[in-house]
Structures are given as C-alpha cells and as structure tokens.
Structure 1
Amino acid sequence: MHLSRFGLLALGAAAVDAFRDTSPFFFASTSELLANSAYIKTGASLLHDVSTSLSTCPSDYYVVVHQPGVHSTDFATRKSAPRLGAKMLGKDKSIRSQMSVNEVAGLMDIKEIKSVLTEKCKAQTTSIDGSTGEYPSSFESGPRIIDIEFPVLPLGSDRASQLSDNDGLLSDIIERIPSGFKYTLLYITSPREFPETDSVVYKSDSGSYQDSIHMDLKRDYSSYSSDSSDSDSDRKTSLFDEYQYFTPGIFMGLMATFIFIVILYVGVTALGSLQVPYAAFEKDTSAAVQKKSQ
C-alpha cells in the first residue's frame, strides 16, 4: 500500500515537472481560418500550423504579442485578461476564428512568424514597447505587423494587475486598427523558467516603421473587472473549460476494462470453487480384482 502511494506521488511530481516549462498560446482572427484548439503542443508543431495559416495572408493587420513569464494558471480567471477572454470565448462578434493551446512545450520562434508575414504577405512592421504604454495614434493601411513586446510579469502581488494592464493596452491598440479591415491576433507567451525569458527574447527589427505620433496610456484597467456583473464576478473561467476530458473513447475504454475485470473475477472465482476429492486421482483396481477372481 505504501509502495503504491509512493508511486502515485512520483507520478504526480513527474507530471508537474513536465508542465513546468510550458505556457499558453492564443489565436484569434476576424477571418475564417481553420484553427483547432489543443491541450498541449510542441512549439515546433504549433509554429508549423500557424505559419501554414498565415501564409495565405488572411488579414490586413497581424497583431503579434509576446508576453514572457506566464503560465496557464495566470489565465485561470476572467479578471486576468478579460478583453482577451472575450475574444477567445466568442463574446466578440467580430472574431470568426479562434484557437488556444493550454500548454506549449518549447518556445515559438517569433522571428519565423514575422518572416513568413514579411515574405508571403509583404507586410511592414510597427513595433510597440509595452513597458512604456505608448503606441501610435493610428496605423497605416496594411498589410502590417503590429509587433507588441510586453515585459516579463513580476512574481509579487503586482503580477495579476500587470497582466490586466497589458490586456487593456492590447485592447486599445486593436481599437486603433481602421474599421473595416481584418486583423489576426497572435498572443504568444513563454514561461519564466527559460533563461531567455529573464530578458527580452527577441529584438524588434531596427528598420521597422515607427509613427511619429504617440499616445501615453494612463488608464486604470483595474476598474474593468469591478464593473462586471455579480454573476460574472462569482464565476471563474479556466483555460480548460473548452475541452472535454471524459470523451466517448475514454468512456468505452473504461467500460471494456470493467467488463474484462468482471470476467476475470468470475473465472478465477469459479476455478477457486472447484472441489475434487483426493480419491479421484487414485487408480480404480476393483474391476481388475473381480476379473482375476473369475
């Protein structure tokens, strides 16, 4: 019994260690795209799928966000990133396609994504430093990459508020996209455990377009969550709510396993209940004695 408990503890520790170096990924677009959500994917596999979708140049603007130093647990409630959550949960009616991956194992190459958009779609780049809260008041006509780099989230009590502020800044930037134009949002994250995420993982292109007119973002986004309804404030939405873990395949497998165990139990019980006297294994010599006497 103690050995089995130890095995379960070791298995749980291995699972926690396996997901320590993972982080979520979010994809939303106002264009019709084939996008399938998943619980876990490797960074290389996800990069291939995303690059394939973007190679068709489905939008006019591509908002590429990099948020280092997060885990899927940071997005466990609606208050963490309410505006991003609205796009992923279908509350934003302009969004036609969305995809989320809870755990991305390995880092995605953001430069590769930008390279695909630059070569295939001839898109120019507008870089925004999320740590300053400044962004262009307007964007030129696409195709254009809006490259947003957020700082690593702190580990203290300001972690949730910083993520909410970043969510508000991202929402304001998207609102600056001219109406009537399609856009695709790629929210790429990376966990803090990677040494590369202690600082900026990549540097923006030096020759990227910068608008001379900027706007200082001085808004308090903490009031967004307090203005929500009582029903929403009492409910918590996790990344895992969109996935079905008890699938029909798992159910049929459990049923088949249960039936096999019952059959095995009945068979072993039947064999164990057999009672044969020891005399049954002795040779019957009475018939031979009668023949000799005759």
Structure 2
Amino acid sequence: MHLSTFGLLALGAASVDAFRDTSPFFLASTSEVLANSANIKTSASLFEELSSSLSACPSEYYVVVNQPGVHSSDFSSRKSAPRLGAKMLGKDKSIRSKMSVNEVTGLLEVKQIKDLLEVKCQAQTTVIDGSSGSYPSYFESGPRVIDIEFPMLSLGSDRANQLSDNDGLISDIIDRIPSSSKYTLLYVTTPREFPETDSIVYESEDAYQDSVRMELKRDYSSYSSYSSASDSSNRNTSLFDEYQYFTPGIFMGLMASFLCLIILYIAISAVSSLQVPYAAFEKDTSSAAQKKQQ
C-alpha cells in the first residue's frame, strides 16, 4: 500500500472532520504481523484482529502507547509525530509490518491488549508515566509489555508540540530495547474533545458576581435542542394528537341524546301509524242507534 509523504493518514486525510467521535490506531512491528489497514473499523473488530495476530507472540517486546484526546486530523502533518510517521511511511527499514486505521469507532481498551499479551505470551508489564518523562535506562529480557500512559492532549495552541514531545519519548523508549530483539508498537488513542461543542454558559463580567457565577450558568444548547425537538414534534403531529376533543362527559351526553331521539322517533312513528275513519266522528242517525238511546 502506497502511503503519501504529505501526511500520516493517507487513507482519509481529506475528511479529517468526518467523524468527531473516532480516533486513529497505528501498529508498527519489526516482526511479521498479519494486519490490514483500513479507513474505518469498529473497536470490537479491531481487537478481534489484534487478538488473532498477537496470540502467536511474534515479538519479544510490545510497546503499548495510550494517547487520549486524539483525532485523525492531529496526524495530518508530518511534524505532529515525525518518528511515528517514519515507521508508518516505510522510512524505518527495520519495520516489516505496519497497520493504520484512520477512524476507530468505540473505545479500544489498552487493558484488553495487555491482558491478552500477559495471558497468551506470559509477558511481564512495565508501566511508564508519560507525563513525568522518566523511564528505565534498560528493559529486562522479554516477553515484556512496555505500557506508556500519556495524559490527554490539551485543547490549546501547544497541542501539536505536546504530541511531538510524546512522539520523541516513544522513540527514546524504543531505542532502549535491545537491537537484537523484535518489538511491536501499538499506538492506541481515544477521541478528542472539541471545545466548540461544549455548552455555552452565561458568565457575568462583574467581579463581585464571581461568588454566584455558578448559579447563573445556563445550558443554552440543551434549551435550543429542546426547542428544536419541540418544534419538530409539533410539525410532525396532528391536532388530534395534541388536544382531546371528546371527553367522557361529552361522550355520555351524546349517547343520552341519541337514546332520547330514538325514543321520540318511536313515539312519533307509533302515533302517526294510528288510522281512524272519518265516520267515527259523525253522529249515527240510524233507527238502531235511536232505539239504543231510548
């Protein structure tokens, strides 16, 4: 696979902001490790692939780097991590296998990788605090896991310098590994936090209000999201979903009126069906009727 020298992430550097909740992963090894680069992978599928490759214990040393707060855009420049870039771009001739995933969805746990190596390869673990900048002058013979824990990258202007300094520390630690031993570098990251997505809060500029500033903070983003959600729901629902037109009282009144109308109809129909001849209202003048009257 050809990797461009203008960036460490040649598979997707043009769309660095396509996924905000993802982070890259890199693997470089002086051993033959079966690994396939990709633009995007889930953390579960990536760990499954790593488990299959690392279970064979291809190296004596495993440098597992945990760098939180990273986005693929941080590696779009060669100056961000030049030593790691040299390994991934084929400039380090000792590297025989490499793998890069631009966007890893979900969190790839470093502990899972260390537990896998400790169980499958019987490796011992050496933990190095990257923030202190101190590390052993030599490492005991392998199999061994060198766990480098870095703090989360800052969101300020020194972000690139901090990443470059961490890259230099990783390179110095790898130089402490005996040259006759093989190593595998696993660079694990977690997603970056974007400040523009944080909640906008109200803060008073008056000095005397500092003591009550926390009480004046309001989350306008949640309010706007609630308003937009409410407007969207109002547009998607009908009036019959919002209002109740037939209450139980109205329904019972309509039923009673309907029964009264039925009774009135039957009564009118019965009265109108009566048939009386007109002769019934005339006086009978026959001789028989006169005799009955007498």
State the TM-score, normalizing by the size of structure 1: 0.60
Partner SS state of residue 139, structure 2: coil
Structure 1 segment 7-156 matched on structure 2, within 5 A: 19-156=19-156
Stretches (4+) displaced over 6 A: 15-18
- TM-aligned CA deviation for residue 193 of structure 1: 3.9
Deviations 1:60-88 (A, max 9, x none): 00000000001000000100000000000
Change (3 A) 1:193 1:158: closer
In the alignment, residue 84 of structure 1 is paired with which amino acid?
A: L
Q: Which sections of structure 1, spanning at least 5 residues, go unmatched?
A: 1-14, 195-294
CA separation in 1, counterparts of 2:64 and 2:17? 29
- TM-aligned CA deviation for residue 28 of structure 1: 0.5
In the alignment, residue 32 of structure 1 is paired with which amino acid?
A: E
CA separation in 2, counterparts of 1:35 and 1:193? 29
Which residue pairs with 2:178 in the alignment? 178
Q: Which sections of structure 2, spanning at least 5 residues, go unmatched?
A: 1-14, 195-294
CA separation in 2, counterparts of 1:40 and 1:59? 26
Which residue pairs with 2:291 in the alignment? none
Which residue pairs with 1:165 in the alignment? 165
CA separation in 2, counterparts of 1:154 and 1:193? 9
| Structure 1 stretch displaced more, 110-119 or 163-172 | 110-119
- TM-aligned CA deviation for residue 192 of structure 1: 3.0
CA separation in 2, counterparts of 1:147 and 1:121? 15
Which residue pairs with 2:235 in the alignment? none
In the alignment, residue 36 of structure 1 is paired with which amino acid?
A: N
State the TM-score, normalizing by the size of structure 2: 0.60
In the alignment, residue 131 of structure 2 is paired with which amino acid?
A: S
Deviations 1:86-131 (A, max 9, x none): 0000000000000000000000021111111001100000000000
CA separation in 2, counterparts of 1:16 and 1:84? 19
Partner SS state of residue 135, structure 1: coil
Change (3 A) 1:191 1:27: same
Partner SS state of residue 73, structure 1: helix
- TM-aligned CA deviation for residue 52 of structure 1: 1.0
- TM-aligned CA deviation for residue 179 of structure 1: 1.2
Change (3 A) 1:155 1:95: same
CA separation in 1, counterparts of 2:137 and 2:17? 44
In the alignment, residue 148 of structure 2 is paired with which amino acid?
A: I
